Amino acid sequence: MTAGGAFAAPTATHNTVPNQFVEADGVRYAYRQLGSQTGVPVILLQHFRGNMDYWDPALTDGLAKQRPVYLFDNAGVGLSGGETPDSFEAMADNVAAFARARGLTQVDVLGFSIGGMVAQEVALRHPELVRKLILAGTAPRGGVPGNDPKVPAIALRETIASQEETAYLFFDPAPSSQQAARDFWERRHQRSEGLDKLASMKAINAQGAALGKWNSPGDGTFSQLNHISQPTLVVNGSKDVMVPTQNSFTLQQHIPNAKLLIYPNSGHGALFQYSDDFVNQANAFLD
């Protein structure tokens, strides 16, 4: 099923799995591979300015109990080489190039936030590669952009978000959600060795340019979504200030074979707030 390197040891976890590298089309991609040695692999595509360290170990380890899991830095992000493209189409082609370099002929794709936008393009541009799709906290091309001025003020600056700012961006003000934010922050910082590299402002600006193109108003038909033939699970929180939740309804309505999962009292990071439930739902869907 794979080539170009051995699977990570089945006992490896999110916090212990080593960084690996593979070259494709002149770009050296960083990735981490954990989980089962059999089954359809799932490639995880991260949010704006995120890297492999920004995933929740409860989510990645939970998925890895049943399938091979690949965490992945796109070109110019984190430990990967190359230049960050300024379009999600080009980022999607990079994902396909990475999969080919690893000898993967069929994968599932879980895209979170802008990773979900890239995932849509992978499914559209490389339909033979993608078996199933999970779109979390994301939007279609020409969807409804967020309008909270605090979001870009935090997300676009050079310094990384603090725990409190991350709680604002990814979670709901409800006490249960804020406690989940603190728990997520603690889990996310448990890895101590082989850490990824923070995204550069050059990469962040390129991602921002890609997002600007994606958010350009379309004709309102979302006709491109009709061409996503893969079974799709759409996931979000009930009150997403980053990518408004109504975009998830649009995705479900226009992707022909899509299911919708909305978590209560939660925001952009609902898949982290409800990590156990999300893992169960995702594994059931991918199975």
pLDDT at position 219 is 85
Among 156-165, 176-185, 272-281, the range scoring the smallest mean pLDDT is: 156-165
Residue 92 lies in a domain: yes
Residue 8 lies in a domain: no
Per-residue pLDDT, averaged over 227-246, amounts to 98
Residue 3 lies in a domain: no
Q: Is the pLDDT of residue 8 over 80?
A: no
pLDDT at position 157 is 87
Burial 6-34 (b: 16+ CB within 10 A, else e): ebbeeebbbbebebbebebeebebbbbbb
Count of structural domains within the chain: 1
Residue 11 lies in a domain: no
Render pLDDT for 66-114 as a digit per residue (tens, 0 to 9): 999 999 999 999 999 999 999 999 999 999 999 999 999 999 999 999 9
Q: Is the pLDDT of residue 140 over 50?
A: yes
Query: What is the phi-psi region of residue 248: left when phi exceeds 0, alpha when psi lies from -120 to 50, beta otherwise?
Result: alpha
Residue 237 lies in a domain: yes
In the chain, % of residues over pLDDT 70: 96
Task: Identify the CA nearest to 135 among candidates 5, 24, 44.
Answer: 44
Per-residue pLDDT, averaged over 16-20, amounts to 97
In the predicted model, what is the mean pLDDT of the chain? 94
Residue 14 lies in a domain: no
**CB neighbour list of residue 163: distance below 8 Å, 6 or more residues apart:** 181, 182, 185
According to DSSP, the residues that pair with 24 across neighbouring strands are 27
Render pLDDT for 256-281 as a digit per residue (tens, 0 to 9): 999 999 999 999 999 999 999 999 99
* pLDDT range class, residue 220, cuts 50, 70, 90: confident
pLDDT at position 1 is 40
pLDDT at position 6 is 42
pLDDT at position 11 is 64
Residue 6 lies in a domain: no
Q: Work out whether the CA dihedral 218, 264, 54, 146 comes out positive or negative.
A: positive
Geometric angle at alpha carbon 206, from 268 and 93, rounded to 5°:
85
Q: Round to whole Å and give the CA distance between 107 and 68.
A: 10
Burial of residue 243 (number of CB atoms within 10 Å: 0-12, 13-18, 19+)? buried
Q: CATH code at 223?
A: 3.40.50.1820
| Half-sphere exposure of residue 79: CA atoms within 13 angstroms, side-chain side | 17
pLDDT at position 233 is 98
Residue 9 lies in a domain: no
pLDDT at position 106 is 97
Structural domain boundaries, residue 76: 20-286
Per-residue pLDDT, averaged over 132-146, amounts to 97
